[in-house]
Amino acid sequence: MSITEDIIELAAIETLQDLGWSYVHGTVIAPDGVQPERRSFGDVILIGRLEAAIARLNSDAPEAARGEALRRVLTGELPSLVEENRRIHKLLTEGVDVEFRGDNGKTAATKIWLIDFANPDKNDWLAVNQFVVVENRANRRPDLVLFVNGLYQVPLIRTHAPIGAGRWT
């Protein structure tokens, strides 16, 4: 029996599931899927999952603070892609500092966490295969993408068959 792209992809999914990752096929959560989690094929953040994670990980923070953190993640703030990636990395690793108006009417500050590094089991780990992304009319479909709390982390692997010595499609 020869090893095919599908065998490699399914083995990777099975291994991730054995490690505790949830799995869903990309067509299921696509904008036109049976359980859509994206508004468009350009969306690479699963907003519902991110919003639920922010609420779960920061249950003691006011809803306004959690909403502001979500807005800051979803809204680009810097003109350069490199700078914006650094900003998002900082939010992921150091938390999102937000200000809000407290019950007493005074401005207060808190830190909102997007990922719980101390308690990994509190995070939502999701593997998605065949996740289509369309940007500038270019259609991309990584074989396997990993999300943590709805945040696109890694287009994990390309399992396409080799096209020549040392080359893969």
How high is the pLDDT of residue 77? 86
Q: Is there a domain that residue 17 lies in?
A: yes
- pLDDT category of residue 52 using cuts at 50, 70 and 90: very high
Q: Is there a domain that residue 74 lies in?
A: no
Q: Is there a domain that residue 87 lies in?
A: no
Q: Is there a domain that residue 118 lies in?
A: no
Strand pairing report for 22-25 and 125-129: parallel
How high is the pLDDT of residue 146? 95
How high is the pLDDT of residue 136? 87
In total, how many domains does the chain have?
1
Alpha carbon distance 34, 50 (integer Å): 20
- For 118-142, the pLDDT digits (tens) are 999 999 999 999 999 998 888 888 8
How high is the pLDDT of residue 15? 97
Q: Is there a domain that residue 88 lies in?
A: no
* pLDDT of 153 strictly over 90: no
Alpha carbon distance 130, 28 (integer Å): 10
* pLDDT of 38 strictly over 90: yes
How high is the pLDDT of residue 158? 57
Q: Is there a domain that residue 30 lies in?
A: yes
Q: Is there a domain that residue 91 lies in?
A: no
Q: Which stretches within the chain are classed as H helix?
A: 5-18, 26-29, 47-57, 63-74, 81-94
* pLDDT of 147 strictly over 70: yes
- Helices 63-74/47-57 angle, 10° precision: 140
Mean pLDDT of the residues in the chain = 90
* pLDDT of 57 strictly over 50: yes
How high is the pLDDT of residue 23? 98
Host domain of residue 7: 1-44+123-169
* pLDDT of 169 strictly over 70: no
How high is the pLDDT of residue 116? 98
The DSSP 8-state label assigned to residue 160 in this structure reads P
Cβ-based neighbour number of residue 162 at 10 Å: 9
Q: For residues 97 and 8, is the Cβ–Cβ distance under 8 A?
A: no
Alpha carbon distance 169, 158 (integer Å): 8
Q: Is there a domain that residue 160 lies in?
A: yes
Alpha carbon distance 105, 90 (integer Å): 29
Alpha carbon distance 58, 36 (integer Å): 25
- pLDDT category of residue 48 using cuts at 50, 70 and 90: very high
Mean pLDDT within 58-66: 96
Mean pLDDT within 35-60: 97
